[in-house]
Structure 1
Amino acid sequence: MSADRENHDMTQHDIALLLADAADEVEIGIAPTQALIRGGRRRKARRWAVAAAAALVVAGSTGALAVTGLSGGDGQQVAAPPSPSVVQDVGRPYRTTLGTGREPDGNYWWVYIDVWAAPRDAAEGAAQLAAMGEYGEAPIDVTEGSDLVGKISYFVLRSYGAAKSQGTVKIQGTAPASEALSGNDNESGAMPLDPDSNGPNRLVIGSVAKTAQAVTCRWKDGTTTKLDRVPARTDVSVDRPAIRTPEGSPNAWFVCLAPQGTEFASAEVTVP
Structure 2
Amino acid sequence: QYEVGLRYANGEGVTQDMAEAAKWFERAAQQGLTAAEYRLATQFEKGRGVTQSDAKAREWYEKAAQGGNVKAMHNLAVIHAEGRGTAQDFKTAARWFTQAANYGLGDSQYNLAILNERGLGVPKDPVEAYKWLDIAAKGGDKGAAAKRDAIATELSPEDLARAKVASGTWSAKKPDPIANGDVSSMKTWQVSSLEGGAAGASAGATRAEIARAQDLLNRLGYDAGAPDGLMGPRTRDAILEYQLSEGLETTGTVTRETLAQLEATPN
> TM-score normalized by structure 1?
0.22
Higher relative contact order (CA 8 A, sep 6+): 1
Structure with greater helix share of residues:
2
Question: What TM-score, normalized to structure 2?
Answer: 0.22
